[in-house]
Structure 1
Amino acid sequence: MPSARVTTTAHRRAPEPHTHRHAAATACKEETGPLNPALLRTFVEVYRTGSFGKAAQRLRISQPAVTQQIRMLEERVGVPLFVRHATGSRPTPAAESLARDAEGAVDALDFVLQRYFGTDGPARPLRLGAPSDLIGERILPALADMLGDGLQLRTTLALSDVLLPQLAAGELDVIVVRVRPRLTGVTALPLYDEECSLVASPELARTLRPELVAGGAPEVLAERPLVAYAESAPLIDHYWWSVFHRPAPSAPDVVVPDHRAVLAALRASIGIAVVPTYLCADDFARGTLVPLLAPEIPPITTMYLATREGDAVSRPQVAAAQSRLLACGRGWN
């Protein structure tokens, strides 16, 4: 007869006190998870500079972000690390102790990043993003002298909704966009005002009824396909509100994310579009495209030059590119 297996739990010996402490520590570790090294990096900068604001500039993030990270670290260690006062921040004894152990580790990590990725090295290429027509027609000519002096440049050709998150994430250094950025940690300056025109080929323009268009009735325009550089058709919508005081008649029929491709579609009489006037100057002169209307006050869109907070102070390449583009922008329209 096989012997019965017996398991006894009622009289199991209680764990030693140190086992309780180990279990509690393990539970705490599992609850909090690994520490984000960025918190220590921010802590060291605040400790060294004696200021949340100066640390934010050196780290190229916003001051509220520094405050939040220090608060997260204080919650993790369970004690205050800094005492804020009128002229800066004073470390507590706990911060002094933590800094002695953390500074070396943070500096070592910075060295590794600099050695393998060149995160802040002067030779790192400037990463610039803008719509493709702006890169080719305006930005590269404006930066020509800097490029001749050795500036290395890497460009990203994309629309505003793609460029803004990349700038905020640190993947780009400078962007030029057709919408006002409203992101924490991003600084935006007006670059120039871009005039827009409602454009079509001469062949398509002849099929429209000028008396209705000239009389302020845009219904006839709704009968023609709309070509846009973005699904949201921001220039078309802006033009309709500015000139006709109503929303655009419909979603675009053709979307190509490059204004030069939009112009190619217009030359082929595919439809009508609202495009930056400066891009049409040669076509107007040759007669390959014509403006459909001549508003007394042409609609304009403000272009913005955006960088991350602090970059224009701490990175000479960003500051120089920003200054050059702003200077050139004063002559653009």
Structure 2
Amino acid sequence: MDLALLRTFITVHRAGSFTRAAALLGLSQPAVTSQIRTLERQLGRPLFLRQARGVTPTTVGDELAHRAAPHLDALVEIAEAGLDEEAGVRTLHLAGPPEFTSVRALPTLTPLISQGLALRASFVGNSEDTLAGLAAGHHDLAITTARPRGGLLSSTPLCDEEHVLVAAPRWAARLGPGVLLRKGSVVLEQLPVVEVHESLPFVSRYWAAVFDSRPAAAGTVIAPDLRAVLESAASGAGLAVLPRYLCEGALESGRLVALLDPPVPPLRTYFLVVRTGTLALPHIARAHEWLLRAAADW
């Protein structure tokens, strides 16, 4: 059996679409279709059911993928290991939220540069766009706050991010001690809000988790980067909800004050995502391992 046909089959099985598999393989969609039909003729059994949106594997297709994929991935690993030694420098295309990628991921991966790794980072704030870019082959490794579905992408929980309700000291002084504990979110409606988007994603998530309500106020300052939100809040623009890792320094220096310390702080989980099978590539596997190891201390 032709290994090229099997590779195409496994890619289609993981992608769930001839079109998406073609993009990943660098082939035309008719070429992928032709290869799958050739393999089906050789086996004498259909491997996929064609549907309006993509394809669904038959039981025979699922069985073949389950048996063949590990061996193909192992062959890729053997081939790429040789290339890795000869190429000198391998490039890793990393995608993720701008703040987390800048503050956490890139510094963690920097030591790998001396081991022959080159880095190319793409800042994508929307998890859906990040996963779509990874599925299309634009990225090798992605950090998202959404777990992907389907067989094309594989995810591993990376770390949890604690969210903190903060404001400049003058706003905290105006509220006075214990006011939030007594009156809850009502008193916060008096304060301007700094956020990354008009929909107030961070504030809304915090309100739902801590106050079991929705924020009544609109955003006063909207800046699509949490680092800009931090600086605006520290300068006195209003309250904000920020990841603790990002605002820890400002809290320690007194530029920001935590307005509330709930018994169970709101959390958001980050996932490390790859296309299924690509951890067989040494440079991706190495970066994946380094990030997981570092995240244990985050």
TM-score by length of 2: 0.73
* Change in CA separation of 1:219 and 1:169 when aligned onto 2, cut-off 3 Å: same
Match of 1:181, SS state, is coil
1:88 paired to 2:81: no
Matches within 5 A, 1:184-203: 185-203=152-170
Which residue number corresponds to residue 215 of structure 2? Answer: 248
One-letter identity of the residue aligned with 1:83? G
1:146 paired to 2:112: yes
1:48 paired to 2:3: yes
Which residue number corresponds to residue 167 of structure 1? Answer: 134
Tell me by how many angstroms 1:235 deviates: 2.4
Q: Aligned partners of 1:278 and 1:60: how far apart in 2?
A: 40
Tell me by how many angstroms 1:135 deviates: 2.2
**Equivalent residue in structure 2 for 1:281, among 237, 248, 256:** 248
Unaligned runs of 5+ in 2: 22-28, 46-59, 66-86
Which residue number corresponds to residue 329 of structure 1? Answer: 295
* Change in CA separation of 1:134 and 1:212 when aligned onto 2, cut-off 3 Å: same
**Equivalent residue in structure 2 for 1:304, among 262, 271, 277:** 271
- Decide whether the 8 Å contact of 2:192 with 2:217 is kept in 1: no
Aligned-CA RMSD value: 3.2
Q: Aligned partners of 2:266 and 2:159: how far apart in 1?
A: 13
Q: Aligned partners of 2:219 and 2:150: how far apart in 1?
A: 28
* Change in CA separation of 1:184 and 1:236 when aligned onto 2, cut-off 3 Å: farther
* Change in CA separation of 1:183 and 1:230 when aligned onto 2, cut-off 3 Å: farther
Tell me by how many angstroms 1:250 deviates: 4.3
- Decide whether the 8 Å contact of 1:142 with 1:325 is kept in 2: yes
Q: Which region of structure 1 is more displaced relative to structure 2, 281-290 or 61-70?
A: 61-70
Q: Aligned partners of 1:65 and 1:280: how far apart in 2?
A: 43
Tell me by how many angstroms 1:133 deviates: 1.9
Which residue number corresponds to residue 223 of structure 1? Answer: 190
Unaligned runs of 5+ in 1: 1-45, 90-120
1:214 paired to 2:169: no
Tell me by how many angstroms 1:177 deviates: 1.8
Structure ID, larger Rg: 1
Aligned residues: percent identity? 32
Q: Aligned partners of 1:142 and 1:189: how far apart in 2?
A: 17
One-letter identity of the residue aligned with 1:328? A
* Change in CA separation of 1:75 and 1:124 when aligned onto 2, cut-off 3 Å: closer
Q: Aligned partners of 1:270 and 1:56: how far apart in 2?
A: 55
Which residue number corresponds to residue 132 of structure 1? Answer: 98
- Decide whether the 8 Å contact of 2:15 with 2:151 is kept in 1: no
Q: Which region of structure 1 is more displaced relative to structure 2, 225-234 or 212-221?
A: 225-234
Match of 2:162, SS state, is strand
Which residue number corresponds to residue 319 of structure 1? Answer: 285
Q: Aligned partners of 2:297 and 2:102: how far apart in 1?
A: 17
